[in-house]
Amino acid sequence: MNKLLSEADFLGGFYYRAESGDTIFRIAEKFGTAPSVIIYENKLSEEVGEGQLLFIVKPEGKTYTVMPGDTLFSVAGGSKDKLYEIMNKNKTDWVFVGQKIII
């Protein structure tokens, strides 16, 4: 029997229904992705509500916690190509200390 693929299968992710007490940061940590990606992919401007359906992108790469003095350029090792790759993966062009990003 052939399996019909959902939109999520084609987009490289899955859907998650937020539970009581969930935050964007907890959900990102649970699934090993960056909070900025969840915010971007779901067009969020505030916290998630219980029962809210979210699209979670399967991360490609490892997560890294931003340290004092880090910039996206320094995390990219000074490579412009790697910089743009990190920016694209995380849907952001800035970072803050403690932020988890995909590298």
Structure confidence by residue, pLDDT tens digits, 30-78: 988 888 899 999 999 878 999 999 999 887 888 899 999 999 999 999 8
Strands 63-65 and 100-102: what pairing?
antiparallel
pLDDT band at 92 (very low <50, low <70, confident <90, very high): confident
- Nearest CA among 26, 24, 23 for reference residue 36: 24
pLDDT value of residue 16: 93
Residue 93: DSSP 8-state: S
| DSSP summary character for residue 45 | S
CATH no., domain 12-102: 3.10.350.10
Full-model pTM: 0.69
